[in-house]
Amino acid sequence: MRALTKLTVAGAVALTCAGLAAAPVAAAPSSTTDVRLITFNDFHGNLQPPAGSSGRVTLPDGSTVDAGGAAYLATHVKRLRGEVRNSVVLSAGDNVGASPLDSALFHDEPTMALLNELGVRASTIGNHELDEGYQELLRMQLGGCHPTDGCQFRDSYPGAKFPILGGNVFFDNGVNAALPFTVTVSGGVPIGIIGVTLKDLPLVVTPEAVEGLEFGDEVEAIDKSSRFLDLLGIKTQVVLVHQGDNTEGGGPDDCKTVPGAATEIARAASPSVDVVFTGHSHQQYNCTVTDPAGKPRTLIQGASFGRLLSVVDLKIDKRTRDVVRESTKAHNEIVTRTVTPDPKVAALVDEAKTKAAPIANEQVGTITADLVRAAPASGESPLGDVIADAQLSATESNDAQLAITNPGGIRTDLTYAGSSAGEGDGVVTYGEAFAVQPFSNIMQTMTLTGAQLKTVLEQQWQPQPDGSVQVRILQISSTLHYSWSRSAAVGSKVSDITVAGEPVTDDATYRVSVNNFLAAGGDGFAEFANGTDIAGGPVDLDAFTAYLAANPGIAPPAADRITVLP
């Protein structure tokens, strides 16, 4: 890493010096060059067009349009690059991980091949880049066959042709574990690209995945890299941060955000930063914030799964080599499926699909209607109900009485309509089940007291540093029922808890099944880490597919497990 850092810094200095030598001496202060930045985020290996709501973009009027698919993405990128000669393609992280089977089966090597084909210049580390640990991240960067499975997609894996940045990722001895920034040149101007990930990354991955790593404050890391770029004379600076805000609806170019971590970062980071691309929250927004010097700068995110491209057009003063901020234009481009698919990328997608087909197309169950992960006001979703029931069924040998799963582990819907694979309406294939539960988390059954169970349910409302409350409603098996109140204070929202129809008491003990991510306190559910008498179970996907096979014709369950009170 030290050697890579030295190379990056040396390259930055060389680029700067070369650029200075080429600068027109008599350029007028108003003379500018145009540079286009094209960025996507949270692609998650969606090579084929995503299904259901994951494959649609909501417009300002509430209507939707089908979007996404790697071959369509490539076509849109090529067109956007063709419109502005000086264009740079970037990613704000989570390119891999939680991927459909045709990418995940090959450790996301097909997705990395796509990113290389798109000409990505830089990406930042997302939490899912660390799903398989730091050594796998290094393999993604540097190349080589998987140490256990070898090279299954192609005979070799060359690695990423771009740096995967992480300015706030350190080894536990304080040494940088990833490059903090890189420098590219476009339009004769050096552009500094700073990458950071969310400081709370350990909360959203398993402890084993980040063992030996530490994650620092995002703004501190951005400012440190920015100061170094300033010293090198690199005035155009872009941030890729894998952190995002939530929204209250709106279209791709609306700014209906609920100001959160991303807004705080964008407002506080060095005034030298001109644009902040975000990710992680899978939202669509196009905002302008004020930096510490009182100047405007773009804050933007493009949903997820390759449905949007965040496009920012810069005018850069040729003399100062800095961005003329007031001339910046930004928009989120919908990756429509009405364009001609890029033939080279389409061939890549077909290759991955064909090689994965024998496993992906195997029937594992049937359903009578869509099982969706979207939830009404209660937070209880049809698909969440089914998955929790499956996990309870799979751990009955551990004397489990109830099961609880995290909504973030449910990645897409199960749709009734048959796919292009021709399996037929209502048929659930292994590939479809995998897309729903792609993490290979291991089930664990623990003992909690009634008081601890109530604490877990109260932790669904998590106060944030900015005074807001993040809500994560857990998905629960049919044996657990409770009510929560809209008006009650955080910490006192939950009441009327029952297990198998019996009221829960503080001193009684209950056997609760969760995945290993939650068992370690993931997603802020710290009370799970205090569970006792832990017994192991199957992989969550195996539990899900076994339940589908044992219960043909599953219908959406009645939404009666969680009751909302005033």
In order, the DSSP letters of 396-418 are: GGGT--EEEE-GGG--S-B-SS-
Provide the residue type at 61 as one letter: D
pTM of the model: 0.84
Assigned token pair, 359: 């496993």
- State which residues of the chain have pLDDT below 50: 1-29
- Predicted pLDDT at 86: 97
User: Can you tell me whether residue 326 is helix, strand or coil?
Assistant: helix
Identify the DSSP state of 127: G
Largest CA distance in the chain: 83
Structure tokens at 461: 């409302």
Phi/psi at 179 (5° precision): -65, 135
Res 60: pLDDT: 95
| Pair of tokens at residue 162 | 């771009």
Q: What angle do CA 39, 40, 42 make, to 5 degrees?
A: 150
What is the structure's pLDDT at 256?
94
Instruction: Locate the domains of the chain by residue range.
Output: 2-343, 363-565
Residue 230: per-residue pLDDT: 98
What's the Cα-to-Cα distance from 18 to each of 14, 58, 469, rounded to whole Å?
Answer: 6, 45, 50
For residue 311, list its beta bridge partners: 38, 331
The predicted structure's pLDDT at residue 17: 38
Specify the long-range contacts of residues 59-67, CB closer than 8 Å, at least 24 apart: 59/251, 59/252, 60/250, 60/251, 60/254, 61/251, 62/249, 65/334, 65/336, 66/336, 66/337, 67/307, 67/308, 67/334, 67/335, 67/336, 67/337
Q: Walk across the sheet containing 480-485 and list its strands.
A: 502-503, 494-499, 480-485, 562-565
Quote the pLDDT of residue 221: 98
Helix axes 540-550, 382-394, angle to 10 degrees: 100
Model pLDDT, residue 464 = 86
Q: Residue 241 and residue 55: Cα distance in Å, rounded? A: 24
Which class would CATH give 363-565? alpha beta
pLDDT tens digits for range 402-413: 999 999 999 999
What separation, in Å, do the N-terminal and C-terminal C-alpha atoms of the chain show? 55
For residue 176, give the nearest of 221, 116, 113, 114 by alpha carbon. Answer: 221
Residue 204 confidence (pLDDT): 87
* Per-residue pLDDT at 276: 98
Q: Residue 127: how many CA atoms within 13 Å on its side-chain side?
A: 20
Give the whole-angstrom CA distance, residue 211 versus residue 105: 24
Contact residues for 144 (Cβ-Cβ < 8 A; gap 6+): 157, 159
Rounded CA gap, 499 and 482, in Å? Answer: 9
Residue 319: predicted pLDDT: 94
What is the model's pLDDT at position 1? 45
Q: Which residues, at least 6 apart from 10, have a Cβ–Cβ distance to it below 8 Å?
A: none
Hey, which CATH number is domain 2-343, 3.90.1150.10, 3.30.70.600, 3.60.21.10, 3.20.20.70?
Answer: 3.60.21.10
511: how many CB neighbours lie within 10 A of its CB?
Answer: 20
What value does the CA radius of gyration of the chain take, rounded to a whole number of Å?
A: 24
Residue identified by tokens 């409603």 is 473
